Chains A and B, each alone.
Chain A
């Protein structure tokens, strides 16, 4: 047993390739046999990934889902920021410049609209739950933007650790819901062309959520949504501790 574990841990990235490969194979089988192709195979694979992450997190007590289990640590490398960004950029191969230009204006508007709207919604929920301190309200609002904007904002304006943790949780809920929800609502929000994909990426903003959501909806749309989504967190970190905190500060002195 020890021998097997040593080999698996030493080759963890290779183990990850095979585990993910088997997961996707099973997912496509389920998608075709059980749902007759109505649910995309990759949507099922992502859902299995999230369930596994939950189980991994609960059993190990760690923060990296399944990757905290030693023999599956390669999942952490394979699905980590570096390879994720590398693959996202690769999806832009073959994209036509004209498509990007066509949705350029709407894309930029959607980034700012997305950050501000999510912030307002998050801040409103914080107020409903009885928060009255401007720093707390701002941090929770920023968490509803993304789980990176929350802590960046919270630390910049001196929110408490508990509130910062809460903001990360709000951002995680958003990211996971975008992953699961996108393929379900795609038809109703007109998410079937490059333009709306760019607007969608700008509005949702969570890179992992958008990346997985579009993968499960229509892989052809991935580069367009990812393009705008990658600006979102930066804009959120820019507005959160500055303009948005300032405005909340005026309202809740």
Chain B
């Protein structure tokens, strides 16, 4: 049943969001701390475990794959509702601060990726998610 996969996905997201919200309260932060990331961990665990096989294989899995495939269209819709006008009206300081932050962060990607590779001499990469 397709809905089983969709339900599993939903439960993962809700559990992750709840934990993220609790983390926010515990840390005294007015934000959800990593709720989506935690939900993703749940889904990874469920899809790698035998116990949830009936919820992740066959047509049930198709229910999750559908939403995974809808990701790009949803991101396009997300782009179409950004407050682009406000971003351009913020003046020079907003533009310079935003651009500079992005440029410096981009430059750090290869540096930090190297640190990760050094600490763990990593042979044979597994096939990353082939579901997309």
B-contacting residues of A (Cβ < 8 Å)? 16-17, 20-21, 23-24, 42, 45-54, 56-58, 63-67, 72, 75-76, 78-80, 83-100, 102-103, 105-107, 109-110, 113-114, 117-118, 121-122, 124-126, 129, 140, 143-145, 148, 152, 156, 165-166, 168-179, 181, 185, 189-191, 193-196, 198-200, 202-204, 207-208, 211-212, 215, 219-224, 226-231, 233-235, 237-238
Contacts and interface: CB of A to CB of B under 8 A. Distances in A.
A18 B13 CA distance: 26
B68 interface: yes
- B interface, by DSSP: helix, strand, loop or mixed? helix
Contacts of A64: 81, 83
Given A79-B74, A227-B37, A90 B84 contact: no
Contacts of B66: 90
Contact of B105 (A45, A85, A117): A117
A152 B112 CA distance: 28
Contact of B83 (A63, A97, A106, A181): A63
A94 B67 CA distance: 13
Interface string B86-121: 111111111111111110111111101101110110
A88 B98 CA distance: 24
A203 B107 CA distance: 10
Closest 7 CB pairs of A and B: A169-B90, A106-B116, A173-B98, A79-B77, A57-B85, A234-B33, A49-B79
Contacts of B45: 97
Contacts of A49: 76-80, 82
Contacts of A233: 31-32
Contacts of B61: 93
Nearest to A68: B81
A84 B75 contact: yes
Given A42-B72, A117-B104, A94 B30 contact: no
B50 interface: no
B91 A166 contact: yes
B128 A96 contact: yes
Given A97-B44, A100-B44, A166 B129 contact: no
Contacts of A105: 116, 119-120
A195 to B, nearest CB: 5
Nearest to B73: A20
B59 interface: no
